[in-house]
Amino acid sequence: MSEGKNGEQKGQEALQRFKEWIAERDRADDWADYIRGGKLNRTEVAAECQFGTPAFRQNRGIEKELAALEARLRLGAAQEVVDLKRTAKNGSDRDVDADSDRAVAGRLARAKASADQRVKNLEEENAALRAEVAALREKQRQFEHLDAHLAETGRMVHP
């Protein structure tokens, strides 16, 4: 939850989520799914990291990580482009499309699992907060009784 946190704390959380997202993409090795026009699709990345696209410009940490990531991907992209052209010339475009479809399906499954986990966590938190509210209402009822007695008699009763 980001309630009660200042901008710097929210920025640090966003940077941490971005770093975790990069690590996840490195493990899945599905960078090609996120590259549009030679750059990462910032809208898609921001949505998966759960922050807005302005964070790429306003958060210096994210900005630096993004620049380093894109530079790293450009170095590896030259080899990948050569490999993709080589397979396309060999007539195996369907293999590339099937791999891309599997990568997208895998990414969607991971995103769904992540969303399901988030919903579960929120439901647990909601149940805990409801229990806390019920306990606080009971205490309030007790203190209203004491307040009413004090107003009537001018004497405090021990709870």
CA distance linking residue 48 with residue 4, whole number of Å: 23
The predicted pLDDT at position 96 comes to 53
Question: Given CA atoms 45, 49, 50, 54 in this order, what sign does their dihedral have?
Answer: negative
**Which pLDDT does position 87 carry in this prediction?**
53
Helix (H, G, I), strand (E, B), or coil: what is residue 137?
A: helix
pLDDT by residue for the chain (159 residues), tens only, comes to 456 778 888 889 999 999 999 998 888 888 888 888 778 888 989 998 999 999 989 999 999 998 888 888 887 765 555 555 555 555 554 555 666 777 777 888 888 888 889 999 999 999 999 999 999 999 998 888 888 888 888 887 776
Predicted pLDDT of residue 79 = 56
Helix (H) or strand (E) holding 40: strand 39-40
pTM: 0.48
Decide: residue 51, CB within 10 A, 0-12 exposed, 13-18 middle, 19+ buried.
buried
